[in-house]
Structure 1
Amino acid sequence: MKTTNPTPTVTEKNKGQDKVEKIEKEVESFDEIYDVAVVKGKKDTLVVYKVKHMQRFNMKEIEKDLNKTLEKKYPKENFTVSSDYKIFLEAVRLVERKNNGSLSDKQAEKRFNEIVKMSSDMK
């Protein structure tokens, strides 16, 4: 399976990078998941992932278990969790543009909020 494995990103400089990396490791520990992107904004943390093909029948259960695990380990965080491929692509684009310097922190936060809103609208 082809994975992109983008680096976990924070929209603000030097705020919570370690926590975001721990969250990514936690999500990657699920056997059913093979690719993860984690982006942390000022208020929310976006976790998007891809599920292995044969596990697609269990997607609701996987998302429920993932939500429960993240809420238990990080109770102060506000998570937006999605397995939607479009949201995954938008998150990866945001990470790439942030890392190569074509987005400022303010622009990255604005785009991050648009992606979170798009994710919540799809549910």
Structure 2
Amino acid sequence: MRLLGIMLPLLVSMSLLSGCNEKEKFIVYGSPENEEEVEAILKEHDFVDKTTVIQYDDSMLVAVQIKPWDKWKKAKFEKKLQKEFDEKYPNKDVLVSADYKIFYEANKIKKDKIEDNKLSDKIKELKELAKEES
């Protein structure tokens, strides 16, 4: 009985903590036209931890977070993904960024549910910010 009194709170707290770990890893915002293809490309790379993809007209912003133990290869992985997206979508203006600030701002766009008329300007702003960072 005493063992049950010790183990029950431990099991409850572990189950609560594991439930908090379930977060969206792949978020696509904007036009959902290529959602499955984009998600498939990103899921095949084990160095990708989380992503936010914003699509609008002929623009696509792919903000990725690299897994912590792969951070030192961030530029290499970013170039690899950029090349892959450019080959897959030659008619789209695609920007892949592994910079955390771009990832944060992309999630902020999704959270604030920015309207279509402002979305294009916001994507241009993030692309300029990404070019400054590199």
The CA RMSD over aligned residues, in Å, is: 2.0
Which amino acid in 1 is paired with 2:69?
A: M
Q: How many residues end up aligned between the 2 structures?
A: 114
Is 1:97 the equivalent of 2:112? Answer: yes
Note the residue ranges of structure 1 that are not aligned, 5 or more in a row.
11-15
- Percentage of identical aligned residues: 23
Contact 2:26/2:52 (8 A) holds in 1: yes
| 2-structure distance, mates of 1:35, 1:78 | 21
- Residues 1-123 of structure 1: pairs in structure 2 closer than 5 A: 4-5=24-25, 7-10=27-30, 16-98=31-113, 103-123=114-134
Q: What does the per-residue CA deviation read over 1:81-115, in whole Å, with 9 as the maximum and x for residues that have no partner?
A: 111101100000101212xxxx3211222222211
* Structure of greater relative contact order (alpha carbons < 8 Å, 6+ residues apart): 1
Distance 1:46 1:74, change over 3 A: same
Please say if residues 58 and 91 of structure 2, whose CA atoms lie closer than 8 Å, have aligned partners that are also in contact: no
DSSP-derived class of the 2:27 partner = coil
Q: Where does structure 2 lack aligned partners over 5 or more consecutive residues?
A: 1-20
CA distance in 1, matches of 2:22, 2:72: 20
Normalised TM-score (structure 2): 0.74
- The superposition leaves residues 62-81 of structure 1 with CA deviations (integer Å, 9 ceiling, x where unpaired) of 11211121122222222111
Shift of 1:4: 4.7
One-letter code aligned to 1:5: K
Show CA shifts across 1:9-59 (max 9, x none).
12xxxxx41314421331232100110110012342100101111111211
Letter in 2 for 1:108: L
1:6, CA displacement in angstroms? 5.7
User: What TM-score, normalized to structure 1?
Assistant: 0.79
Q: Following the alignment from structure 1 to structure 2, what is the Cα–Cα distance between the partners of residues 2 and 21? A: 20
CA contact (8 A) 1:3 1:35 kept: no
